[in-house]
Amino acid sequence: MVQRLSVELLVMAGIGLILGLLGPFGTYAMPTALRLVYWIGFILVGYAIFRPITRVAGWLDDSTPIPFPAAIIMAVAVASLPLALLIGFAINGITMDGSMLGAGFALLYVQCAGIGIAIFLLMRVIFPDGDGSADPATADGQSHAKPDMNHFDGIPVKLLDRLPAGFPKKISALGVEDHYVRVLTPERTEMLLMRLGDAIAEMDGIEGMQVHRSWWVARSAIMTSKRDGRNLRLVLDCGLEVPVSRAYVAPLKQTGWI
């Protein structure tokens, strides 16, 4: 984490140096030395303000329905205000009167927001793994990254996002009951108000098959099969016996599931 912050600070100073040499937003008229100090200081102060606020944007994305782009726009809008105030007081001489909310301050605010978004996008290109707040490498050289709990056999499963916290991740079968889909595991079941087809689509990536108009089963859950005359049933690890429609018997045999 310390190494990551050091690299970020170096990148920020480099951006400030480049802007200082270019002199955008009317700053080229400044003496070169003052212009370099202005831009390097501006970028480093902005970094100190923007970085923790963009971390909050990541938290909003993880913990609320707010999508990440919207969270970042909110974060930049908030962070640009104190930065514009600091620059205004320190460099432009904005005073605590009506002029403080005039066109000059509005332009400064827009400039801060524009540069903030541009730097954020650049940092995403340089560090595509995110903000580095959850660095999996520790002093012992081992990975301690927080696992994604919504995985089944190591594969991310969208359907698990609909289930309550603590629900078992190993899904054995999905069954239709009226307008609901019952999600079955060896330890617990849960009802979801949705169509079976939509539930199956959200199990994408997991080896499974629809074996009846009302049933989908995971291959790993099949313990054995049994016949009752011409009827075939699959015995699952959750103790359930799922009927197999005749149209699905041949596919099950072809794949070697039975």
CATH number where 193 lies: 2.40.50.1020
Are 21 and 112 in a shared domain? yes
Residue 171 counted as domain residue: yes
Provide the residue-wise pLDDT of the chain in tens; the chain has 258 residues.
Answer: 566 678 788 888 888 889 888 888 777 888 889 888 888 888 888 888 888 887 777 666 655 677 778 888 888 888 888 888 877 776 665 555 555 556 677 888 888 888 888 887 887 777 654 444 443 333 344 433 333 444 555 567 788 888 888 888 889 999 998 889 999 999 999 999 989 999 999 988 888 999 998 999 999 999 999 988 888 999 999 889 999 988 888 888 888 888
Number of H helices, E strands in the chain: 6, 10
Are 55 and 105 in a shared domain? yes
Last residue of a domain, one of 72, 92, 126: 126
- Name beta bridge partners: 34: none
* Radius of gyration of the CA atoms of the chain, in A: 29
Residue 200 counted as domain residue: yes
Are 233 and 258 in contact, with CB atoms under 8 Å apart? no
Residue 7 counted as domain residue: yes
Domain housing 201: 151-254
Are 102 and 175 in a shared domain? no
Are 42 and 8 in a shared domain? yes
- The pLDDT score that the predictor gives to residue 135 is 38
Are 6 and 119 in a shared domain? yes
Whether the full predicted model's pTM is greater than 0.85, yes or no, is: no
| Crossing angle of the two packed helices 32-63 and 68-87, in degrees rounded to 10 | 150
Residue 116 burial (C-beta neighbours within 10 Å; 0-12, 13-18, 19+): buried
Are 69 and 25 in a shared domain? yes
Residue 140 counted as domain residue: no
Are 75 and 163 in a shared domain? no
Are 13 and 115 in a shared domain? yes
Residue 138 counted as domain residue: no
